[in-house]
Copies of this chain bind each other. A is one copy, B any other.
Amino acid sequence: MNKKSAYTVAVVGATGVVGTEMLSILEERKFPVGQLLPLASSRSAGGEVTFRGDAVKIKLLTKDSFQGVDIALFSAGGNVSKEYAPVAVKAGAVVIDNSSVWRMDPQVPLVVPEVNPHDIEKHQGIIANPNCSTIQMVVALKPLHDHATITRIVVSTYQSVSGTGKDAMDELAEQCRQLLSFGDIKPKVYPHQIAFNCLPHIDDFLPSGYTKEEMKMVNETRKIMGDESIGIAATTVRVPVFVCHGESINIETEKKLSVEEARTILSTAPGVQLHDDPSMGVYPLQIDAAGTDAVFVGRIREDDSIPKGLSLWVVADNLRKGAALNAVQIAEELVK
């Protein structure tokens, strides 16, 4: 991308939970935004968002929206990305897309800046932002993979409802209120009650019995780490938490890694914050990670059920590092 002092940045889906985070992160990190162009469907167009203290009109997303746009951050669902990302590219924008539709396209780099920043160079207009649960896992695991070569990952997730969107957050709050006052509830966003319940079901089921979310963790991790040989078994579970995803991760490595070695590696790893002093009650927690940028890693311990194994617990803000922050970091790499 040609170096400029300021860029015209479109945010598609500017009023969603991720879009809102994108705006505040662009502002927080002083991204060189010349003009901001918030785009949305007819439901939100005409309204306003606040950016650097100014009210900015939300425009209706159309095929003509991208003239003069340098960077378009998309977070309005797969269908919108499928239809409008090529339009934006044709108009000369670089698209950073938060949906899943372009991620596994061989022409499209799938990037976590701490892990594979150089893949950005290969872009042909679209750069994909990985799935939230994948991003935090690879930030934690890539440094260990570089030192010891991970051969297998078994991961179980504890994912918050904000990954589904604002309606899901409202549904969790409302179901809790109802159930705590002995009222009845009727699930709308999720197929079953989410308050005080865990759902081993995120995204659609595939014929194999896995969900699409689980297969995202498998396929995207391999693509980002650049290693198709890593075996990955994922179970993704929605838990009654508003923000941040937790992950219980077990890895098998080619070279033996001790707990101390893993801690040393992770203590200087980009994007990682070590929260690992269990005897003092210090381990990654969703309530602590909310609103922050780091991927928190703790509960690192040797797994003696295999000769070379480690277990760890990883938490990050799924709206920030898992989505909006990672997208803005890609934009930062792009304009470097």
Q: Which residues of A pack against B, CB within 8 Å?
A: 152-154, 156, 158, 172-173, 176-177, 180, 191-193, 196-201, 205, 208-210, 231-233, 235, 237, 239-242, 246, 248, 250, 259, 278-279, 281, 283-287, 298-306, 309, 311, 313
Contact = CB atoms under 8 A, between A and B. Distances in A.
A240 B200 contact: no
A248 B235 contact: yes
Contacts of A235: 156, 248, 250, 299, 311, 313
Given A197-B285, A233-B311, 20 more contacts: A152-B305, A152-B306, A154-B154, A158-B239, A177-B180, A192-B281, A192-B287, A193-B287, A196-B287, A198-B286, A200-B246, A200-B284, A201-B283, A208-B301, A209-B278, A233-B303, A233-B306, A235-B299, A240-B241, A248-B248
The quantity of this chain's copies bound in the complex is 2
Contacts of A210: 301
5 A-B pairs with the lowest CB-CB distances in the bound complex, closest first: A231-B305, A209-B301, A156-B156, A156-B248, A235-B248
A199 B240 contact: no
Given A301-B210, A305-B233, A201 B278 contact: yes
B205 A279 contact: yes
B209 A300 contact: yes
A210 B259 CA distance: 12
7 contacts: A154-B154, A158-B158, A209-B259, A233-B303, A233-B309, A235-B248, A239-B239
A226 to B, nearest CB: 18
Contact of A278 (B173, B198, B205, B313): B205
B154 A191 contact: no
A311 B200 CA distance: 12
A285 B246 contact: no
B173 A241 contact: no
A305 B154 contact: yes
A205 B156 CA distance: 21
A198 B300 contact: no
A120 B304 CA distance: 30
Contacts of A283: 200-201
A116 B201 CA distance: 33
A198 B239 contact: yes
A91 B228 CA distance: 65
A209 to B, nearest CB: 4
Nearest to A314: B200
A78 B284 CA distance: 29
A191 B281 CA distance: 7
Contact of A240 (B180, B196, B232, B309): B196
